[in-house]
Amino acid sequence: MVKEIFVNLPVKDLDKSKAFFTAIGFTFNAQFTNEQGACLVLSENIYAMLLVEEFFSTFIKKGIADASKVTEVINAVSVESKEKVHEVVDKALAAGAVAYNEPQDHGWMYSRAFQDLDGHLWEVLYSDPTAFPAN
């Protein structure tokens, strides 16, 4: 079965995108990073490939969605605590992201969301499986 996931996202300015995600606290895998794309490490087996739009377009037959106008995907990442949710999103906002939606508190799950520099939606969440409501 699946051993890794690579989410591919088009970006307008790779250097700005790399600086943005570095400011939030993420790192990049240098082995899969060059002037056309950068491998954003989300976890041990999950990555986002930030690809310059021109290079991204070589993999598709359709146009590239303008993520500042339409939603193509919500990238949800989980973190270890509510405090970490706030830390990551606050860093994203300070680095130029735009808040998206109000914080969501469902008791067992808490999340906040932002739009990155290219308009891609990111949701940062913490969930406590011991507090999950019974069916």
CATH number assigned to the domain comprising residue 88: 3.10.180.10
* Cα 111 versus chain centre, distance: 13
- Residue 65: other Cβ atoms inside 10 A: 14
Query: Could you read off the pLDDT of 21-78 as tens digits, one per residue?
Result: 999 999 999 999 999 999 999 999 999 999 999 999 999 999 999 998 999 899 999 9
Domain residues for 31?
5-131
Question: How big is the chain, counted in residues?
Answer: 135
**The one-letter amino acid at 42:** L
pLDDT tier at 135, thresholds 50, 70, 90:
low
Position 24 scores a pLDDT of: 96
CA distance 126 to 55: 34
- Residue 101: other Cβ atoms inside 10 A: 12
- How many domains does one find in the chain? 1
pLDDT at residue 134 greater than cutoff 80: no
pTM: 0.90
